[in-house]
Structures are given as C-alpha cells and as structure tokens.
Amino acid sequence: AIIKREDYTPFGWVVPEVQIEFELGLELTRVVATLKVERNTAAERTPTIRLNGDGLTVRELQCDGETCEGYMMDGDDLVVTLPGDNHALRIVTEISPAANSQLMGLYASNGMLCTQCEAEGFRRITFFPDRPDVLSTYTVRMSGPKAQFPILLCNGNRTATGEQGENHWAEWHDPWPKPSYLFALVAGDLVARSDSFTTMNGRKVELNVWVRDGDLERTEHAMESLKRSMKWDEETFGREYDLDLFNIVAVSDFNMGAMENKGLNVFNTKYVLADPETATDGDYDGIEGVIGHEYFHNWSGNRITCRDWFQLSLKEGFTVLRDQLFSQDMGSAPVKRIEDVRVLRGVQFPEDSGPLAHPIRPDSYSEINNFYTATVYNKGAEVIRMMRTMAGEERFRAGTDLYFDRHDGEAATCEDFVKSIEDGAGLDLEQFRLWYSQAGTPKVTAKLDHSGETAKLTLKQHVPPTPGQDSKRPMPIPLKIALFDRASGTHRGEELVVLDKAEDTFAFDGFAEAPVLSINRTFSAPITIERSAPREDLVFLAAKDDDPFARYEAMQELMGGHLVAAVSGELGENERIAAQADIARAMGAVLVDESLDDLMRGELMTLPSQSYLAEQMLVADPTRIHEEREALKAFLGKELRDEFHALYDRAEKAPYSLDLASRGARKVKTLVLAFAAASDPAKAVELAAHQYDNADNMTDRQGALMVLTGIDSAERTGRLLDFYNRYEGNALVIDKWFSLQASSLHPNAIEHVKALREHPDFTLKNPNRVRSLYMAFAGTPHHFHSPDGEGYRMIADLILELDPINPQTAARFVPPLGRWRRIEPKRAAMMREQLERIAAAPKLSRDTFEQVTRSLG
C-alpha cells in the first residue's frame, strides 16, 4: 500500500498514559500493556480503535477489566470496538527476541536485550497506535533473571527496584509524553562509565555510557563528547537537558548509527568505542558527531516530534545541521564543512539525480525505512543552513527559539518549522518553501562579463525533472560570492546574492579589470555550479581564495574538469599536458604553503571521487573514470615526488595526539602514500610497510594497510595477516579488515570479497559486518562496475539472501544498482537484469520491493 502525505488525518483517540510490564527472556518475553484511551475531540468519531501490530498475536485482551470479545484482526492490526469515550485496554502479547533477526522491536544482541522502535518497531512489541502524533507518558515495569540481566534500563527515571528469588525487577517512569518510536528498553550484563553534568539552571544530570565488560576503557571519548554536546546546546541553541539521568547503551547488532530514545540512547558500538590503538581519527569524529546528533534530538525530535513520517526532515535535517555546527565548533570548521559537502555530493546528489529522488519532505512511501536517506538528512540540513545563511546567525537563533517555544510538547510539521523561522527571524520564506517540495539538485550557470568599470554576473538556474515531477519552479538560491582583484589577490568583501528567478543579472562597479569570481563560498547552497572558469582562474583561486571551501572547490574543479574531459575523450595530447601541468603547479603550491594546516592541506590534495566524477557526466564509463583518475595520481606522484616526500618526512615527526595538527600530519602521510602507490608502487610498499610496523595508532596503521592492500606483494599478505591476528575478536577492527579488502585498488578484489564471504568471521546476522564487506564493495566503483557484471550479481545475491533475515539492511543495497540510467549501456543492461532478478523473487520484503520497483522505474 502506498501512503500519501495529503491523506493525513489525526488519530481518533488519544492515549495519555501507557503502562507496560515486561517479563524478560531471550527466547520468550511476555508483554502486558495497559493503555488509557480517550476519544480525540479534534478527530472524527469512530466506533473502533486501530492498534498496529507486526507479527503479533493477541494472548489476552481486556477492556475496562473485562475480557473483551469485540475485536478483530485486520491484517497485522488489532481493531477493537469501543463504545464509550474513555477506556482502559489491557493487552497481553508474547514475543521472541532471540528470533528477531530484523533488529526492529525487542531483540537479542550478544545475550542482552535491547529495542529499536523508530520508525515502526514498537508494533513488534505490543499492539499500539504506532504513529508519532500519539503522545503518552510511559510507566514500565520489567523483571527477569538477575544473573542474565543484571542491568535493567528504560526511558526516564528509575522509580523502584526489587528482588524475587532468581529474578529482579525495576520500574521506570518517563514524565515527558512521547510517541512510541522513542520507547526503549535494555536488559543485560553491562558496565558503565559514569559522570555528571550540571545544566545551566543547576540540574545535576547523571550520565552513563553502558558497554560490555572489557570495553570500558574505550568509552572516554564518548563521555567527553556527550558533555561537550550538552554544554554546546545550551550555549548555541539555549537548550537544556530535562531529566536527571541520561543513559547511552552500545550494542553491536544495530541497523543504523544510533537512536535518540528519550533518556536512553541506543548506539551502534561503532559510534561509542574508541581508543588510539583501535579507532581512527575519522572514528573519533564519527563518535563525537553521532553522540551530539542523538543528544540534540532531545529537543529537535523528542520535545518537539514529527506529526507523521513525511515530516522526518523536521527532526533529522535540523538535527544534522545542529550536529554539523557542533563538530565545526569542536574541530576545524572549514574541514568539517568540506567533509559534509563531500558526503552530500557523494551520496545525496546521486540520489537526487536517480530513480529514488524525492523531496526532503516526501509525498508518498510504501516503507518508511526507505526514507531515512541522505536527502531527508543531509539535504534537509542544507536547506535549513540556507535559512541560517540568509537570516544571519543571530536572527536564525531568534527563529529557532520561537520554534522551540511555540511547538514544545507537540508533534509538528516542516511547515511549523519554516513558519517559526519566518516569524522569528523576520524572513519571507514563501518561495523558499519550494525546497521542501521539489526534488532534484538545481544547476546554476554563472557567467561573468566585464566592460568598462563594471563586472556583470549573469546567473541562470535549472532544476532538473525527477520521478513524478516533470517541471519545476525556480527556487531562491543564496550564493555567497567574492570578486577578486587579479593583481593584489584580494577582494573587497563577500556578498550574498539570492537568485530567485530562472535568470538574473547582478552588476558590480569599480572594476577596472575583469575580476576573478569566487562563488557558492562555504557551499552556501546545495547546487551544482557551472561557471566555465578558465583554468588560470581556478589556479588563482586554489592558491589565493580566503574561503577555504572555495579554495578546495577550485582544486576540485581544476582536477575534475580535466578528468571529465579526459574520460570523455575530448582531450588532445597537448591539452592533456597543459592541464596536468596546471594541476601539478596548483598541487605543488598546496604542498608547501605554510599558511595551511595539514588537515586543510589534505583536503586540497584529495582528488574528486569516482562517484562525484560520474555524477558530472550524463552517462559514465566507470572503467575510464578509474583509469584517468589513477593516471592523474600517478602523474602527480612523479611530478611532485620530492615535495611529497618532504611533506611525509615532516609529518612523520609529529607525535600522536588528538590535536588537529597531529591529526593533520596523519592525514597527509597516508595521502602521500596513495600518490606513491600510483606512481612508484615499490616505494609505496616500502613506506607503507614501515608506517604499518611503526604505527602507534589505528589511523596510521589502517592508512598504511589500505595502501598495501592495493598492491600485490609479500608485504600485503604479511600485514593483512598480522592485522587480523592482532585484532582478532575485536569486531569493529575486524570490520575494517573486511572493508579494506573490499574497497582496495587490487585488481582481484572481487575474488577477495568472494573468499571473505566464506570467512568464519563473516555473518549476515550482523549489519556492521555485512556493510563492512558489501557496502565497501558496492561503494568502490572500479569493483562494483566490473565489466563482466560480476559485481552487480554479487550485490543482487546478497540482497536476496539478506532480505528474509534483515529487510531494512538488505534494501540499502538496492540504490547502487538503481543507478543504471547513468551508466554506459552494456553495464546498464546488466544492472537492470539484476534488479529484475530481485523483483522476480517469490517473497520480497516491502522494503526491498519498493526500492527495486522504483529503481526499475
């Protein structure tokens, strides 16, 4: 069934209070839920109440203390006839957490019990109006064997505990009304790192990070990140925590990154556990970002939740923006901005230009899990960031203050958010609302003309058609620009121009000579720009732009422009030589520029990704993209050999710490190794083996092993074996071992993946492990797009095998196959063939079915 946004109606009942008793067991858990229900006076009167279920059967049903016969099952749902306006329903269900391989609802992970209810997992625990606009206060009593589940956790505060023979019990109460998707329960043998935080109004909050015994030493960074998040949200958004307790639990079997359940966040271990020996700098950043993200949801998501799932970006887009701003403030702001743009371009742009394109506020879905996308999350964040850019920080804050104040305690809509920003920040967002309803990445062409003393900027926008949206209206696009004086290398100040028509011209006076255009600075709008700048202008900006993002962008364009031309075969030999020389000149300047820190230098040294290059072509030939990209790396590696080695030697002297300078040194070291791998593999092997052997941290060790994994040698075999033996039993590090091999530059990687599939450590039951092998593989174009179609077949096989076990994770592998329209015809046919093979499978989950049918178009 297709659910449509326009069909929203309020629920016929309110459920002010819920009381649940859990008798916990891995094999069997008994759930007794008591719902206080009252007619919703704001909704149409109905004779029945529909309680959602998913795979449940009714064991007992009572209404107002009497056995109830007036009910029927409608599919998975329980429909009860209710004569009056106020009733108490008591529903008994029994579930088997150990048999729950979907990891939705209540499930077992390593002998512990935990829950994941967003979006529609609560209905796998008990019958309930499982929709985000039904808010209730929850009182929960849970009991179970004390030896097996010594720790019993739930949302809110613990109000009572007790023992009964082998069993013990705990009672929890959450005073804040919440929708069922924010419910959480955890029971297991856990230990905590504990700390506290005192809020701005003096509330002392107990903080715990719960992990399995043995992982405690790896929780310091998570705890520090949590305290920094709490402080930052007070300072930046005026948001204070609202309970006396905040618990985080790390679980190793988890479909996503983490979950913001009220007072009891549940995390993938990947976003909790870190120490220098086992976690990379990237892992540290990921933890800080996700801890922040989930914590920030306490206001943007929990205190104000979503009216329906079409509004998902209300909480996710806003919370992603909040976590991005937090990470910017904690580390290098420009580098964080570049990383976020890279994710947007690498994941969201392809989504927006493919068969699964949808607006940040979708209009319809069949399975909501398929809409936890880069569009809803990351483009959603960009859209709110544009409002912030147009309003300025201070007025934006007035807007968010108004939003939090106006809608606290409500299940709100995206429209409520926009209206609050409009009223609070004093912006007119009438036309801007199109960003919520129109899918597709706008394309802006910029042309700068100069005559007399005037520079004239002509901007045109085009929003491409997307499935179900053939024609689009022009949207307001805020572009930060600067015009550089060629001679002095300076500009007279950044300006914000808002392009809100299909075409517009902006004039700038007082330029005796044609200036150099720097546009979409800080990536002020999530669009693509075509500015057809001469290469010399890009070289100029790559060296001189004072906006780090624009500098990065100039380097990307310089390299990307050349690579796209080379792949398209429209490059003469002389042109190639000239372009390569310009790139080498720009890159050479970057390597020695003393005004740059190494973290930023590393960004400027990074080639555009294969997927981003493919995105810039109407129809891509993945093999050619890969070849040209490697050729450029090899050319630069040779041309700048001495500069690279000097940089490596300097960086190698930096002692390990988590300081930005030390992280920067590690980043440039591995980048140098990658250039060496393309230009002088023997030297690269020698350097990488040395870096591997002497590493005192995972960033260096993984970087070295990444390079070694791509080059056939005794060192490759030896260090891969060493890595496995060294970290055997540490699941998160063994995930890296799988990933490195699946995404390597080695020509036989497909064979390696097939062999790893049979490795005793591989399992389809653990999403991290599945992703570590197959997402890494599907995200590596030169393997996934193997000319014989083997990569497509492997991913299709995986989807078919995983779908009955974990449909949510299986469906996430469909989008790579869905890109067929943008790939050269021979491969496109093979990709379609695999999609059709999946579609023809006898029993497909709703998740996978929806993604496959949409992908076939």
The least CB distance from residue 121 to ligand ARG, in Å, is 7
Q: Least distance (Å) from ligand ARG to the CB of residue 260?
A: 6
Report the 10 Å Cβ neighbour count for 788.
10
Cα(433)–Cα(431) distance, integer angstroms: 5
Q: Which helix (H) or strand (E) segment is 415 a member of?
A: helix 414-425
Binding segment for ligand ARG (CB under 6 A), chosen from 143-151, 250-258, 609-617, 767-775, is: 250-258
Nearer to ligand ARG, 126 or 255 (CB): 255
| Cβ at position 290, least distance to Zn ion in Å | 9
Three-state secondary-structure class, residue 507: strand
> CA 560, CA 528: separation in Å to the nearest integer?
13
Q: Which is nearer to Zn ion, 296 or 552 (CB)?
A: 296
The residues in 118-137 that bind ligand ARG, with binding defined as CB under 6 A, are 118-119
474-486 in b/e form (b: 16+ CB < 10 A) is: bbbbbbbbbbbee
List the one residue from 24, 245, 258, 444 that touches ligand ARG (CB under 6 A). 258
Range 712-735 burial, b when 16+ CB lie within 10 A, else e: ebebbeebbeebeeebeebbbbbb
Q: Please name the residue that has the structure tokens 């108004």.
A: 402
For Zn ion, the closer CB: 298 or 319: 319
Q: Pick out residues in 370-399 that bind ligand ARG (CB under 6 A).
A: 372
- CB distance 419 to 460 below 8 Å: no
Q: Whose Cβ is closer to ligand ARG: residue 320's or residue 527's?
A: 320
What Cα–Cα distance (Å) separates residue 596 from each residue in 101, 593, 661? 49, 6, 11
Report the residue number whose CB is nearest to ligand ARG: 372
Q: 259 contacts which partner out of Zn ion, ligand ARG, none, CB within 5 to 8 A by kind?
A: ligand ARG
Is the CB of 130 or the CB of 316 nearer to ligand ARG?
316
Site string for ligand ARG, 297-316 (x = CB under 6 A): -------------------x
Binding mask 99-118 for ligand ARG (x = CB under 6 A): -------------------x
Contact predicate 802/810, CB 8 Å: yes
Confirm if 810 and 855 have CB atoms less than 8 A apart. no
Instruction: Decide: 698 and 733 in contact? Cβ < 8 Å.
Output: yes
Q: In this chain, which of 102, 136, 278, 369 binds ligand ARG, going by CB under 6 A?
A: 369
Q: How far apart are CA 280 and CA 270, in angstroms?
A: 11
* Binders of Zn ion in range 300-319 (CB under 5 A): 316, 319
Q: Tally Cβ neighbours within 10 Å of residue 72.
A: 10
Q: How far is the CB of 832 from Zn ion (least distance, A)?
A: 33
Choose between 380 and 476: whose C-beta lies nearer to Zn ion. Answer: 380
End-to-end CA separation in angstroms for the chain: 17
DSSP 8-state code for residue 146: T
User: What would the two tokens of residue 338 be?
Assistant: 């570049």
For residue 130, the partner it binds in ligand ARG, Zn ion, none, with Cβ less than 5 to 8 A by kind, is none
User: Is residue 769 within 8 Å of residue 759, measured between CB atoms?
Assistant: no
Which stretch in 49-57, 145-153, 258-266, 834-842 sits in contact with ligand ARG by CB under 6 A?
A: 258-266
Residue 270 contact among Zn ion, ligand ARG, none, beta carbon within 5 to 8 Å by kind: none
CB of 290 to ligand ARG, least distance (A): 8
Nearer to ligand ARG, 294 or 557 (CB): 294
Determine the Cα–Cα distance for residues 814 and 818; give it in Å rounded to an integer. 6
Q: Should residue 54 be labelled a site residue for ligand ARG when binding is judged by CB under 6 A?
A: no
| 154 contributes a contact to ligand ARG by CB under 6 A | no
Give the range of 253-261, 460-468, 707-715, 790-798 binding ligand ARG by CB under 6 A.
Answer: 253-261
Q: How far is the CB of 371 from ligand ARG (least distance, A)?
A: 8
Q: How many residues does the chain have?
A: 857
Side chain identity at 243, as an amino acid letter?
L
Q: Which stretch binds ligand ARG (CB under 6 A): 60-68, 256-264, 383-391, 689-697?
A: 256-264
| C-alpha dihedral (788, 794, 796, 799), degrees to nearest 10 | -170
Per-residue x/- track, 688-727, ligand ARG (CB under 6 A): ----------------------------------------
Of residues 119 and 321, the one with the C-beta less far from ligand ARG: 119
**Among 264, 262, 257, which residue's Cα sits nearest to residue 304?**
262
**Least spacing, CB of residue 645 vs ligand ARG, in Å:** 43
* Residue tagged active-site, from 120, 171, 288, 294: 294
318 versus 820: smaller Cβ distance to ligand ARG: 318
* Residue 554 to residue 532: CA distance in whole angstroms: 12
Q: Which strand (E) or helix (H) includes residue 188?
A: strand 185-188
Tokens 């923006």, located at residue: 321
Q: Is residue 430 among the annotated active site residues?
A: no
What is the residue type of 307? R
CB 856 within 8 A of CB 842: no
Q: Stretches 227-235, 255-263, 341-349, 508-516: which one binds ligand ARG (CB under 6 A)?
A: 255-263
Q: Are 796 and 774 in contact (CB under 8 A)?
A: no
Give the interface size with ligand ARG as a residue count (CB under 6 A). 12
Active site residues: 294
What residues line the site for Zn ion (CB under 5 A)? 316, 319
Residue numbers at the binding site for ligand ARG (CB under 6 A):
118-119, 255-256, 258-260, 293-294, 316, 369, 372
